[in-house]
Amino acid sequence: MSRLDSFIRRMTVQRDILDHVCAEVAEMEGPVLELGLGNGRTFHHLRERLPGRRIVAFDRALAAHASSIPEAENLVLGEIRETASRFIGIDAALVHADIGTGYEDRDAVTSTWLPDLTARLLRVGGIAVSGTPLDHPQLQRLSPPPSIAADRYFICRRV
Protein backbone atom coordinates (compact mmCIF):
# COMPACT_ATOMS: atom_id res chain seq x y z
CA MET A 1 0.00 0.00 0.00
CA SER A 2 1.35 3.43 -0.87
CA ARG A 3 1.97 5.93 1.91
CA LEU A 4 -0.76 8.12 0.41
CA ASP A 5 -3.27 5.28 0.49
CA SER A 6 -2.20 4.45 4.05
CA PHE A 7 -2.71 8.09 5.10
CA ILE A 8 -6.16 8.24 3.50
CA ARG A 9 -7.13 4.98 5.21
CA ARG A 10 -5.86 6.23 8.57
CA MET A 11 -7.74 9.53 8.27
CA THR A 12 -10.95 7.75 7.26
CA VAL A 13 -10.69 5.38 10.21
CA GLN A 14 -9.89 8.26 12.55
CA ARG A 15 -12.95 10.21 11.39
CA ASP A 16 -15.24 7.19 11.60
CA ILE A 17 -14.11 6.28 15.13
CA LEU A 18 -14.39 9.85 16.39
CA ASP A 19 -17.87 10.12 14.89
CA HIS A 20 -18.70 6.80 16.58
CA VAL A 21 -17.70 8.01 20.07
CA CYS A 22 -18.81 11.65 19.88
CA ALA A 23 -22.46 10.91 20.63
CA GLU A 24 -21.46 9.26 23.90
CA VAL A 25 -18.86 11.92 24.71
CA ALA A 26 -21.48 14.64 24.17
CA GLU A 27 -23.41 13.20 27.13
CA MET A 28 -20.39 13.31 29.48
CA GLU A 29 -18.98 16.17 31.47
CA GLY A 30 -15.35 17.12 31.04
CA PRO A 31 -13.17 18.65 28.38
CA VAL A 32 -11.80 17.01 25.27
CA LEU A 33 -8.01 16.74 24.95
CA GLU A 34 -6.35 16.57 21.55
CA LEU A 35 -2.81 15.21 21.96
CA GLY A 36 -1.14 16.19 18.71
CA LEU A 37 -2.76 19.21 17.04
CA GLY A 38 -0.72 18.94 13.84
CA ASN A 39 -2.50 20.65 10.95
CA GLY A 40 -5.63 20.94 13.09
CA ARG A 41 -7.93 18.81 10.96
CA THR A 42 -9.03 16.58 13.83
CA PHE A 43 -9.43 19.54 16.20
CA HIS A 44 -11.64 21.21 13.60
CA HIS A 45 -13.67 18.01 13.20
CA LEU A 46 -14.13 17.62 16.96
CA ARG A 47 -15.16 21.27 17.26
CA GLU A 48 -17.91 20.62 14.71
CA ARG A 49 -19.04 17.36 16.32
CA LEU A 50 -18.96 18.70 19.89
CA PRO A 51 -20.03 22.36 19.58
CA GLY A 52 -19.46 24.49 22.65
CA ARG A 53 -17.22 21.87 24.27
CA ARG A 54 -13.85 22.91 25.66
CA ILE A 55 -11.15 21.29 23.53
CA VAL A 56 -7.56 21.63 24.72
CA ALA A 57 -4.96 20.90 22.06
CA PHE A 58 -1.33 19.97 22.69
CA ASP A 59 1.62 19.95 20.30
CA ARG A 60 5.34 20.60 20.19
CA ALA A 61 4.92 23.64 17.98
CA LEU A 62 2.06 25.40 16.24
CA ALA A 63 1.66 24.22 12.64
CA ALA A 64 -2.14 24.23 12.32
CA HIS A 65 -4.13 25.91 9.60
CA ALA A 66 -5.41 29.32 10.72
CA SER A 67 -9.00 28.02 10.80
CA SER A 68 -8.02 25.21 13.16
CA ILE A 69 -6.18 26.94 15.98
CA PRO A 70 -7.78 26.81 19.42
CA GLU A 71 -8.11 29.86 21.63
CA ALA A 72 -4.85 30.75 23.39
CA GLU A 73 -6.05 29.34 26.73
CA ASN A 74 -6.76 25.98 25.04
CA LEU A 75 -3.48 25.63 23.14
CA VAL A 76 -0.56 24.08 24.98
CA LEU A 77 2.82 24.00 23.23
CA GLY A 78 5.86 22.00 24.22
CA GLU A 79 6.70 18.33 24.65
CA ILE A 80 3.31 16.63 25.03
CA ARG A 81 4.56 14.19 27.63
CA GLU A 82 5.51 17.11 29.87
CA THR A 83 2.82 19.67 29.07
CA ALA A 84 -0.13 17.26 29.24
CA SER A 85 1.13 15.96 32.59
CA ARG A 86 0.18 19.32 34.07
CA PHE A 87 -3.46 18.46 33.25
CA ILE A 88 -3.59 15.18 35.17
CA GLY A 89 -6.84 15.09 37.09
CA ILE A 90 -8.76 17.26 34.61
CA ASP A 91 -11.29 14.41 34.17
CA ALA A 92 -11.47 14.61 30.40
CA ALA A 93 -14.44 13.02 28.65
CA LEU A 94 -12.29 12.25 25.61
CA VAL A 95 -8.56 12.04 24.98
CA HIS A 96 -7.59 11.69 21.34
CA ALA A 97 -3.93 10.90 20.70
CA ASP A 98 -2.64 10.95 17.16
CA ILE A 99 1.07 11.20 17.86
CA GLY A 100 2.40 8.05 16.24
CA THR A 101 5.25 8.58 13.80
CA GLY A 102 5.21 5.34 11.83
CA TYR A 103 8.72 4.60 13.10
CA GLU A 104 8.56 1.54 15.35
CA ASP A 105 11.44 2.64 17.59
CA ARG A 106 9.99 6.11 18.23
CA ASP A 107 6.46 4.80 18.71
CA ALA A 108 7.77 2.18 21.16
CA VAL A 109 9.10 5.02 23.34
CA THR A 110 5.74 6.82 23.17
CA SER A 111 4.04 3.59 24.23
CA THR A 112 6.04 3.64 27.47
CA TRP A 113 4.34 6.83 28.71
CA LEU A 114 1.19 7.54 26.66
CA PRO A 115 -1.11 4.86 28.16
CA ASP A 116 -0.48 5.96 31.77
CA LEU A 117 -0.78 9.64 30.91
CA THR A 118 -4.04 9.00 29.05
CA ALA A 119 -5.52 7.04 31.95
CA ARG A 120 -4.63 9.84 34.36
CA LEU A 121 -6.18 12.51 32.12
CA LEU A 122 -9.52 10.74 31.66
CA ARG A 123 -12.53 10.73 33.94
CA VAL A 124 -13.90 7.34 34.96
CA GLY A 125 -16.03 6.27 31.99
CA GLY A 126 -14.16 8.63 29.68
CA ILE A 127 -13.02 7.49 26.27
CA ALA A 128 -9.57 7.41 24.69
CA VAL A 129 -9.01 7.14 20.97
CA SER A 130 -5.49 6.57 19.72
CA GLY A 131 -3.51 5.59 16.68
CA THR A 132 -1.23 3.58 18.96
CA PRO A 133 -2.25 0.88 21.47
CA LEU A 134 -3.08 2.04 24.99
CA ASP A 135 -2.26 -0.94 27.16
CA HIS A 136 -2.97 0.02 30.76
CA PRO A 137 -4.87 -1.65 33.63
CA GLN A 138 -7.28 1.31 33.91
CA LEU A 139 -8.06 1.37 30.18
CA GLN A 140 -10.48 -1.23 28.87
CA ARG A 141 -10.18 -1.79 25.14
CA LEU A 142 -13.45 -1.36 23.24
CA SER A 143 -14.31 -2.83 19.88
CA PRO A 144 -14.21 -0.42 16.95
CA PRO A 145 -17.18 -0.13 14.60
CA PRO A 146 -17.52 -3.29 12.43
CA SER A 147 -16.10 -1.55 9.35
CA ILE A 148 -12.75 -0.90 11.08
CA ALA A 149 -10.01 -3.47 11.63
CA ALA A 150 -9.37 -4.04 15.35
CA ASP A 151 -5.67 -3.13 15.10
CA ARG A 152 -5.96 -0.02 12.92
CA TYR A 153 -7.04 2.51 15.55
CA PHE A 154 -7.80 1.96 19.23
CA ILE A 155 -10.70 2.89 21.51
CA CYS A 156 -10.57 2.49 25.29
CA ARG A 157 -12.72 3.39 28.26
CA ARG A 158 -11.29 4.51 31.62
CA VAL A 159 -12.49 2.03 34.25
Q: Tens of pLDDT along 88-107?
A: 999 999 999 988 777 788 88
How many whole angstroms separate alpha carbon 69 and alpha carbon 135?
Answer: 30
Q: Tens of pLDDT along 113-149?
A: 999 999 999 999 999 999 889 999 999 999 988 888 7
Residues with Cβ within 8 Å of residue 154, at least 6 apart in sequence = 128, 129, 130, 131, 132, 133, 134, 141, 144
Contact indicator for 131, 150 with CB cutoff of 8 Å: no
Contact indicator for 156, 131 with CB cutoff of 8 Å: no
Angle at which helix 41-49 crosses helix 3-26, to 10 degrees, equals 30
Secondary structure class of 103 (helix, strand, coil): coil
pTM across the whole model: 0.94
